[in-house]
Structure 1
Amino acid sequence: MKDYILFFLILLLLPSCNRFQTYDTESTLALAGENRAELEKVLVHFRDSGRVAYESACFLIENMKYHASKEKINLDPQYADYFGHTDSLYHALFDNITTGKAKEFKGKEYDSLRKALGKEFSLLPEPDTSEPMPDAQSLSAEYLIDNIEKALAVWRENGYEYNKDFDFFKEFILPYRATNEYPDMSRTDIYHRFHAILGKGSSIYEQLEYYKTYVDKSRWINKYTKPKGHLGIYDLYVPKFKMDCHNMTNRSCNILRANGIPTVYEFTPLWQDRGNRHFWCVSPDTSGILQPFTAPDNNLREDWESDIRYAGKVYRRTYGAQKDTPYFIAGEDEYIPGLFDTPLLSDQTFRYHQTVTLRLPLNGKTYNNLAYLCMWAGSEPAIVGWGKIDRKRNEIVYEQVPLNTLFFPVLFDEETMLDIARPFIIYAGTTLEDIPLPLTANTPPHSPKDISIENGNIIDSDTRKAIKELRYITLECDTTQHTDLHLLRKYPDKRRMRAFREQLKGAVLVGSDDERRSFDTLLTIKETPQPYLQEYKFKNEKCYRFYRLSAPTGASVNISHMEFLTSSPKGNAFRSPTPLPVFHKDTVSDTEKMHRVEGRPLKTGSHPEYAFDNNMSTYAGSSSVGMEFRHPVQIDRIRLVPRNANNMIVPGNSYLLMYYDNGWKEFKILYAEHNYLDFKRVPKATLYWLRNLTEGKEELPFFYIDGKQYFLHTDKLPYCE
């Protein structure tokens, strides 16, 4: 009888979604199997709770058919006890100090306690994983009702209005998951675990600052923990998973949403200058503009300049299905690349770059509905975007194409990727006034800049007039013409490494006969050092046993290599100095006889010995580095290499030069005797690629213009200014 009554209620219930917005909950209910009754309880629970509450339930259940966890993580209850203890320790240590003071806190006296915690953690049972069931077949009514009720509390607290805010609410607050993480805690449990931290802030920025500090210091407390597998939400607490940005973004989204902070998950399938992906959170600033941040280590827009602005195409991972994705656009038997074989994507590139709608001529016939865009990712291009094929106009319409980015247009014959046009760049030498700047708008322009390619030129698709501010660059090659290339790098100077070098501006070298006092200043580094071995000469008429180089304002010196030179070793062990780099065949070598004096590295902090280990891949991270010599010695010059990625030409390494001619073609291998390579009579091409065959992985194609390398996506091209 009870089953009959419930069935009758559901019959009444299903059409009731039509009183408001239409939702297809039935397709999910049909897939739910034995869990159908749980989902129906959710609909019944919210049926008479108002439009927002009921449509929230309908929205979650309608789209639940697209969601599942990657794996189910089964943790022993002892983990909750353990992390409860570390949470209590955090509050005892940091509750009564500012976030700034907490960041500076070193707490060396707590090292034995942290080691004891690491030992305690090692005794916990190993995490167990199992194959999860889809959400529709596994989530309980209790879990979903709790999630919706807590989300509705945020709705009420913020005074949201249906017509203006419901679409935002559905993606930024309501969802119980971000992507494929296992939902191991209810929203109420997440709220209670983190509200004491996030509740301190009066703005999203302040809340994120508290969150950053909490996670950072929790990792500090758990320095000696060595988990044998993922720990669900507790992954945030241990250093091992710090670099797992997908996992960190998932967990951060759920934590922030549970505490009323609107958050979504966005990602780039490929950086413009690196061959990998990245994932981050997005929340609104005080003006309502959505700002990215890599959680939990950054605040709103904090890593924009250093990283996120260099994303390629950018997508939001949505909870609700998006009808303008390849998942729905593709033909019945048309192959969809794995990245795009989901309805849960929303193109957000317009928020990160100036973009255009590009209409590219389609040569030849195809039954496909879709073509794609790839970016350079080494030997094989990586698919990063899609376009719709318009057979009537015989063109491909690519939306949100970022300017100044190299793309390879392709389509698929079954699962075989085929080139369909020359690789191209829509190049702008300056900012375009009629396209929104990055991070200034939340929605795409109503009438985006729409361009077409006609006889190799860019024209306005509506007026058919040429657009002078844009240039259509394609990858060409003329093997009948040749050029000589003088090369100094295989990869551009990295932004992070430049920042480290800039910290050395103002560094001071001092000398003394006492390790801790009575220092005389010998040298101040007045300019930012170069990313290679360089020599600093200075006037010094005295002999000292101790020499120390200190970065200004307590910053890390980040020195990869350092040598102390003299013409008279004074009884100290010595050897020949490392030769200074040679960047051209006409460089005159320094013939002055100098000695590199050997000594004992001063104990100044984090691995000071790395500055003297003759390994350019290691570095001293302490605020100073120095040397104690057996006998006082008159040092009057130093040689040093700042921390760097070793991406210049390395003597002793072998390099392969390639050029693009409808695919990458090998030209020649050269062995580097010095810090440069001279390739003669190279086919004249638009783009080249230098590969180090001996060591290192970072490489990026480059243009060669007027005797200089211009790296793809990082350097401004001179002929387009």
Structure 2
Amino acid sequence: MISEKTLKIVCAILSAILVALVCHIMWPYIDRQKTRLHYRSDERKLAAAEFLTDNMDEHFTMVGDGWIRYDTIFNRFEKYFERHGYHGESSPMTLQHIWDSVEVHSGPLKSEDFLRRMDTDQALSDVLIENIDAAFEAWQSVPDSLVTKDFRMFCEYVLPYRIGNEALEPTCRRHLWEEYRGMRDTMFTDIQSIEKAMNKVLREKKGYSNSELMWQFPYSIPVSRMEKMRRGSCMHICEYYVHVLRALGIPATIDEVDVWGNRSGGHCWVTVMKDSTTECALDALTGKNLRLTYRPIKVYRRTYKTNPVDKKAKETMPYDLTNEHRIDVSHKYFKTHTIRIKAIPEEAEKHGYPEYALICAYDNTKRLWTSVDYGKHVGDGVYEFKNIIGGNCAIMAFYDKKKNEHYAASQPFTITESGKVEMTRPIGNNKRDMKLTRKYPRFKRMDFHARKLHRTWVEGADNAGFDRADRLMTIDRIPGDINDTSIICKKKYRYVRWTVDKEHKSCLAEIRFYGKRTADGPEVPLIGRVIGGPKPTIDTRHPYKHAIDGDPATYFDKKANEDGYVGLDLGEGYEAYITRIKFYPRSDTNYIIPRHMYKLYCWDNGWRQIGIRFPMEHELNFTNIPEGMLYLLRDMDGGNEERPFTMDGDKQVWW
């Protein structure tokens, strides 16, 4: 039998545990009330505190063991850049080796290494108070030429203490104010000047730049770590820019495209606001005002504020599309439309006519249709989608949230610039022939690389130093992807090379030399000892041998102010008349590559194979192909960049 004394002790312990548990549960709420009480005598700051605490739900920090491992990378990156400077290559091979060594030692980055720690479960009063005071001081000192003093805009786009899921640093805002206040006061004269000032200070002076290596790190990086390495993905750089702008009292946020409508992947950029109508979009990737090269179906804007979302949609649709801290701003960038799509009756019946359906774009990195928005059932199997950007191809799908699976609910369809929906479907039993030259559109960025070959040349010589060399060919135009040039050559050469002026940078994917051993002999591919420069180092990603390795997917990147060339020493007794030069600029290599296997598909309730070819030249010919469909060409021997296309006469129309 338990004694009265023992019972009292047990009760006291249980009471203490209960009090501790209640305090643990209630402490974040009590802490938020502490923030409000702190400003009870300041109406505006109290309103700001209420805005932050009332909209705190769903905001979080990523925590976990992953940060311990990857802090090693950040610290080693910092040491590397301190030694070599921040203005060199964005992702030198040394950094890749550092990343690889951490992965070998600790395993690859995994989502389970990180956990969400909700802001509502933390005591953040000190962070909030520090943030509110600093935000007001900076905002109130902003010249009227930069920002209209709209309190709602201040709360939404200046005041927030976070922009992503970064770890919170209480003194971050004041630190950035001291670091960059001179830039604001001397270089920001109006909203249009912000782009030049940010580019001059952050990119040119401090060396912040995009790093493909950091695309592998999917979470927000806090300010202190970003300042160690000054490298990141588009998202990381954008988030740092927003922290800087907000610390200076300037409204800013991130606009983003989850999936492009006409290429793989997505993008994000910084949007700076003067008032509700005057905005400036800054592309942190290039450091310039935004120019959208690719076509989105949707553009979203990050907000701190909690926005209304239909409860049923939140329960049944993907999280990203029902994120309460994003709003649709597609109409700010393009003309948009409301479209209606009728589901395939059998699919609608099989899935019970769901209340919502998805509109999806093709993402070739996953080789899947990926959701970009959802629409509501308006009756008779018809679903309505609002604020949709035209000039795209999409498909409608039903979604099973428990299984995280999509089910095609319509044929693919195109949306014209004027908003007209056109279904892709067979035109009776009509058949057609096709001549195809690419599996992916050739975007303008390919001209950027090709332009670097302009005014480079090929020369032949009878000595290794190329003294008194003869110029055999000059590239006097911007070349295409594949270039084949005949040469009239009246003498033999032992040495032949491609070269460029020392002060110019250039890049060459592949060069092949052809010639004759005798004046009337047959033309043959020339072989010999590869010669070139500069000599590769540990940080050389693209050495000269990449231009003569038989693979146009690799390339020689010749930097400015260094001697660079690549060629052949044919050997003594093997001199030749140079008759032809075939060369390839650096490119996406999505043209047709001889001897690769290609498969042609059309969408017929899934991708159905309708042809296979092994080309010997840079084109493919198909016959007896169903007309009016959506097609996809796949290189089975390399590369995953592929886009759906339709045919307009003999022309591939890319989507």
**Fold shared, TM-score > 0.5 on shorter chain:** yes
Query: 1:331 is matched by which residue type in structure 2?
Result: K
Q: Residues 396-475 of structure 1: matches in 2 within 5 Å? A: 396-412=383-399, 417=406, 419-428=408-417, 471-475=420-424
Deviations along 1:535-557, whole A, 9 cap, x unmatched? 22344445556544345795533
Distance change (3 Å), C-alpha of 1:40 and 1:89: farther
Cα distance between partner residues in 1 of 2:209 and 2:622: 53
Which of 227, 234, 242 matches 1:245? 234
Whether contact under 8 Å (1:506, 1:525) holds in the other structure is yes
Secondary structure of the residue aligned to 1:158 is: coil
- Report what 1:15 is aligned to: none
Query: 1:371 is matched by which residue type in structure 2?
Result: A
Q: Residues 485-564 of structure 1: matches in 2 within 5 Å? A: 485-511=434-460, 513=463, 515=465, 518=468, 520-532=470-482, 534-541=483-490, 547-551=496-500, 554-564=503-513
Q: Which structure is higher in RCO with an 8 Å CA cutoff and minimum separation 6?
A: 2
- Report what 1:690 is aligned to: 633
- Report what 1:667 is aligned to: 610
* 1:710 Cα deviation from its structure 2 partner: 1.9
Distance change (3 Å), C-alpha of 1:275 and 1:517: same
Distance change (3 Å), C-alpha of 1:522 and 1:705: same
Cα distance between partner residues in 1 of 2:465 and 2:163: 54
Query: 1:48 is matched by which residue type in structure 2?
Result: S
Cα distance between partner residues in 1 of 2:73 and 2:506: 39
Whether contact under 8 Å (1:330, 1:369) holds in the other structure is no
Whether contact under 8 Å (1:218, 1:238) holds in the other structure is no
- Report what 2:125 is aligned to: 141
- Report what 1:610 is aligned to: 546
> Is 2:641 the counterpart of 1:705?
no
* 1:32 Cα deviation from its structure 2 partner: 6.8
Question: Where do 5+ consecutive residues of structure 1 fail to align?
Answer: 1-28, 94-101, 429-468, 571-590, 713-721
Distance change (3 Å), C-alpha of 1:289 and 1:74: farther
Q: Residues 88-487 of structure 1: matches in 2 within 5 Å? A: 131=115, 133-158=117-142, 165-184=150-169, 186-188=171-173, 190-191=175-176, 194-195=179-180, 198=183, 201-202=187-188, 203-209=193-199, 210-214=201-205, 216=207, 232-233=222-223, 235-236=225-226, 242=232, 244-284=233-273, 289-295=278-284, 297-302=285-290, 304-305=291-292, 307=293, 309-323=294-308, 328-331=309-312, 334-360=315-341, 369-377=355-363, 380-390=368-378, 396-412=383-399, 417=406, 419-428=408-417, 471-478=420-427, 480-487=429-436
Secondary structure of the residue aligned to 2:416 is: strand
> What percentage of aligned pairs have identical amino acids?
21
Cα distance between partner residues in 2 of 1:503 and 1:374: 37
Whether contact under 8 Å (1:361, 1:394) holds in the other structure is yes
Deviations along 1:213-252, whole A, 9 cap, x unmatched? 35536999xx9xx99x99743553577963x333333333
Secondary structure of the residue aligned to 1:526 is: coil
Cα distance between partner residues in 2 of 1:709 and 1:424: 16
Secondary structure of the residue aligned to 1:614 is: coil
- Report what 2:16 is aligned to: none
Cα distance between partner residues in 1 of 2:444 and 2:310: 39
Whether contact under 8 Å (2:457, 2:472) holds in the other structure is yes
Which of 42, 45, 67 matches 1:49? 42
Deviations along 1:77-117, whole A, 9 cap, x unmatched? 99999999889889xx8xxxxxxxx96x79xxxx9xx99xx
Query: 2:141 is matched by which residue type in structure 1?
Result: E
| TM-score, scaled to structure 1 | 0.70
Distance change (3 Å), C-alpha of 1:518 and 1:256: farther
- Report what 1:11 is aligned to: none
Whether contact under 8 Å (2:164, 2:220) holds in the other structure is no
* 1:167 Cα deviation from its structure 2 partner: 2.7
Number of matched residues? 586
- Report what 2:9 is aligned to: none
Secondary structure of the residue aligned to 2:625 is: strand
Whether contact under 8 Å (2:134, 2:174) holds in the other structure is no
Cα distance between partner residues in 2 of 1:471 and 1:156: 48
Cα distance between partner residues in 2 of 1:83 and 1:239: 6
Whether contact under 8 Å (2:147, 2:275) holds in the other structure is no
> Is 2:555 the counterpart of 1:619?
yes
Cα distance between partner residues in 1 of 2:120 and 2:25: 5
Secondary structure of the residue aligned to 2:441 is: coil
Cα distance between partner residues in 2 of 1:537 and 1:699: 32
Secondary structure of the residue aligned to 1:343 is: coil
* 1:619 Cα deviation from its structure 2 partner: 0.3
Query: 1:169 is matched by which residue type in structure 2?
Result: F
Distance change (3 Å), C-alpha of 1:660 and 1:685: farther
Question: Where do 5+ consecutive residues of structure 2 fail to align?
Answer: 1-21, 536-541
Whether contact under 8 Å (1:477, 1:660) holds in the other structure is no
Distance change (3 Å), C-alpha of 1:167 and 1:389: farther
Cα distance between partner residues in 2 of 1:562 and 1:276: 31
Give the root-mean-square deviation of aligned CA atoms: 4.5
| TM-score, scaled to structure 2 | 0.76
Cα distance between partner residues in 2 of 1:310 and 1:553: 38
* 1:284 Cα deviation from its structure 2 partner: 4.5
